[in-house]
Chain A
Amino acid sequence: MRGFGSTMGLYEPGRGFLYRTPLPVKAAASLGCAGIVLAWRSPFVTAVALVLTVGALVVGARLSPVRILRMLLPAAPVLVVLALYQGWLQGWTVAFGVSGGIVACLLAARALTLTTPTQDILDGVARLARPFRVVGAQPERFALALSVMLRSIPYLAGLFVDVREAAKARGLERNPRVAVTPLVIGAVAYAHRTGEALTARGLGDHDDGDDEEDPAPAPGM
């Protein structure tokens, strides 16, 4: 889990004012950044957003500019193609306005996940979902589903690698059916096991588990 988190750019402990900023403020800033950039798309707004997000990361999370560039690496191919295309067709200021805006949004989102423990984010989302209780939503089950999902990703990634190795050993690595079917069947089996584990702990059943309405656990698979 730990190694997985750090490669995925989730929470990393550190110092700086971003770590002390409350989550709602950071979330509002990140959302506001996306909204403003989307609404205006002018090079000037983009430049301001870029300066603010990079500045926040450098000062507020004490990141080096190299680290910031490295965070953008996975998105780089798409961004470069987009920037070149628009620079060629519509001029370089438009290209800067659009792709720079996307970079600013990505950095703003990363500033949030990097400086907030993942559990706090999940709790925050559950709190946000609370008003939807009126229309029948169950925020606790939603938060539970989110955390089961996060826990499952490393398991599935490992399963994916195993299945591909097995396919390679049989000389079938070019056959995606052989490479993916066991992954999906493994995922369904894993979900059934997880469901049984949740039922055994009284979690995930209908009314947040604190009603005695449905005491008998569902009959397994």
Chain B
Amino acid sequence: MQPAEKTAAEPVRSSPSPGRRSGRRWDATDLSLVAVFAALIAALAILPGIPVGPLGVPITLQTLGVMLAGIVLGPARGTAAVLLYLVAGLIGLPVFSGFSGGFGVLAGPSAGYLVAFPLAALVAGLLAVVVLRRQRFRAPLLFLACLAASLVTIHPLGIAGLVVNAGLPLRDAVIVDAAYLPGDVFKNILAAVIAVSVHRAFPRLLAGRAPRD
């Protein structure tokens, strides 16, 4: 129990206590925003999907929650929320969709998608900070940010997961993954529209901190 001594001997990552240069430290509100967004992802993953369009095909909203965490909370808190959600699922709390939770999901076919989620929130959050510096065209630009994030992270890692865990040949894995693309585009539009409303309702959530650096 000598954390002070150890942190002093470990200047490499400069544990958050001494430095304030890497932005503001998290207060209780930041902590509960992270926790509540982790819960939001869990709720969206567990609850039955919403029927969409004339055919009423239900879509599950797990990735919507991941993108929202990134573009509503920003890169740091958004990634933390997704990581918290993953940790909760991995220690066995049943918060993953279908697959209820536990280390077993790492053996399942959807493992690649889960691993990609924090990266997706990080990329979407970084892009969102740039987008939210301006007032105009926020929704389309946020949509592009989400789309870029999911194309760069979720789809490649998801395909890798299908190849490694489900034993699909690469070509089949790409085809299986492509089936998620239309729903993905739709969810990214939805995330962008919702995020614009949320930032209008809570202007200091992210935009208030962006111009400071």
Contacts and interface: CB of A to CB of B under 8 A. Distances in A.
Interface of A: 8-10, 27, 30-31, 33-34, 37-38, 71, 74-75, 77-78, 82, 85-86, 90, 94, 98, 101-102, 104-106, 108-110, 112-113, 118, 121, 125, 133-136, 141, 144-146, 148-153, 155-157, 160, 164, 173-174, 176-177, 179-181, 183-185, 187-188, 190-192, 194-196, 198-199, 203-207, 218, 221
A30 B61 contact: no
B103 A31 contact: yes
Nearest to B6: A134
Nearest to B200: A185
Given A145-B34, A149-B39, A134 B194 contact: no
A184 B40 contact: yes
B29 A196 contact: yes
Contact of A176 (B16, B17, B190, B201): B190
A110 B102 contact: yes
Contacts of B136: none
The winner among A82, A104, A149, A179 for most chain B CB atoms within 10 A is: A149
Interface in B37-90: 37-40, 42-44, 46-47, 50-53, 56, 59, 61, 64, 68, 72, 84-85, 87-88
B70 to A, nearest CB: 13
Contact of B64 (A77, A180, A185): A180
B150 to A, nearest CB: 17
Contacts of B194: 177, 180-181, 184
Contacts of A205: 27-28
Interface stretch (B92-100, B127-135, B141-149): B92-100
Nearest to B49: A176
Contacts of A71: 100
Given A156-B43, A207-B17, A9 B100 contact: yes
Interface string B10-26: 10011111000000011
A176 B58 CA distance: 11
Interface in B151-201: 165-167, 190, 193-194, 197-198, 201
Given A133-B6, A149-B42, A204-B27, 19 more contacts: A27-B91, A77-B98, A82-B166, A85-B166, A101-B107, A108-B102, A110-B92, A112-B92, A136-B13, A149-B39, A153-B95, A155-B39, A184-B68, A188-B201, A192-B202, A194-B32, A196-B28, A199-B28, A199-B29
Nearest to B99: A75
Nearest to A95: B167
B107 A34 contact: yes
A152 B34 CA distance: 11
B101 A113 contact: yes
Nearest to A77: B98
B93 A10 contact: yes
A218 B37 CA distance: 20
24 contacts: A27-B91, A30-B102, A108-B103, A109-B100, A110-B102, A112-B92, A113-B102, A133-B3, A134-B10, A135-B15, A148-B31, A148-B39, A149-B85, A152-B40, A174-B52, A191-B36, A194-B35, A195-B29, A195-B31, A198-B28, A198-B32, A199-B27, A206-B27, A218-B29
Contact of A204 (B32, B44, B110): B32
B198 A188 contact: yes
Nearest to A94: B167
B84 A146 contact: yes
Contacts of B115: none
B18 to A, nearest CB: 10
